[in-house]
Amino acid sequence: MPRRSTSKSRESDNIFITSPTSASQESVDFELMKTVKEMGIATKKRREAKRNKIENERIRRVQDVKGRLDGLFESHRSRKMKLQQAQWAKLSSLNKKRQDLEAQILASMTAVERHTMNMARELDAMFVGRLEGLKELEKKDG
């Protein structure tokens, strides 16, 4: 069933249709439309300004956090480098001590070997002398 249109609904449906009115009414309508349009533009500008402000604040915060993180990373890296350098210095010192001890051990072992060889030669000479002495005694007794 089709809807009945009443005179009220027709008037409300035809708000924007120009009807024969006076020039002052058209001027008021034009001014009203102009004001509505300006309000829409102003609202858009305010929304855009708010959006820009929020975006700029976000960018500033991101840069601030990035700067703080970079600072923390740099201080951590600096501390780590100092600790590593100290550890390398200590390791180098310990390595030098180890080399010195190895050199001392080698020198001691060389000295012990030399003394042992000297004693072995002396003992050998002594035994050879005793054997010769015993052989001479044996010849005299014999």
Measure the CA dihedral 23/24/26/31, to 10°.
140
pLDDT digits (tens, 9 = 90+) for 19-61: 555 778 888 888 889 999 999 999 999 999 999 999 999 999 9
pLDDT for 53 equals: 96
pLDDT digits (tens, 9 = 90+) for 52-66: 999 999 999 999 999
Task: Check: pTM over 0.85? Answer yes or no.
Answer: no
Radius of gyration for the chain, computed over Cα atoms and rounded to the nearest angstrom: 56
Confidence tier at 140 by pLDDT (50, 70, 90): confident
Backbone dihedral angles phi then psi of residue 84, each to the nearest 5 degrees = -65, -40
pLDDT digits (tens, 9 = 90+) for 101-132: 999 999 999 999 999 999 999 999 999 999 99
